[in-house]
Amino acid sequence: MGEVVNLRLARKRKARSDKDAQAAENRVKFGRTRAEKDRIAAQERIESSRLEGHRLEAGRVATDRNDANTGRADRAAGDFVAPSSAPDAPQPSGDAGPRRT
């Protein structure tokens, strides 16, 4: 037959080992010298400014329906107007056909 285990003691052992692990992590995290903290803070500032320097602005993205080469706005699929031979030819009004009443 198996060994009888006192669950209360097992929980206390586990809590104690979890506390020891947390303490070891805190020693590493907070047990640094002022010089180390300053060096790491400076490095984080440099990395953050480098990341911000590569951020794209909302209006400068090439995929926002602007042609990247010419700067002209592309027309939507339904806005296509075929070129006409007469310069003063009427443009389509956008109606699909006669209206039913």
Task: Answer for the pair 92, 81: CB distance below 8 angstroms, yes or no.
Answer: yes
pLDDT, mean of residues 82-86: 57
Here the tokens at position 11 are 């929980």
pLDDT classification of 73: cutoffs 50, 70, 90: low
The per-type count for the chain, helices as H runs and strands as E runs, is 2, 0
The pLDDT of residue 30 is 85
Question: Which tens digits make up the pLDDT trace of 18-57?
Answer: 999 999 999 888 888 889 889 999 999 999 999 998 888 7
Average pLDDT score over residue span 5-21: 96
Report pTM.
0.32
Confidence of residue 64 (pLDDT cuts 50, 70, 90): very low
Boundaries of every domain in the chain: 24-53
Cβ-based neighbours of 62, under 8 Å, separated by 6 or more: 68
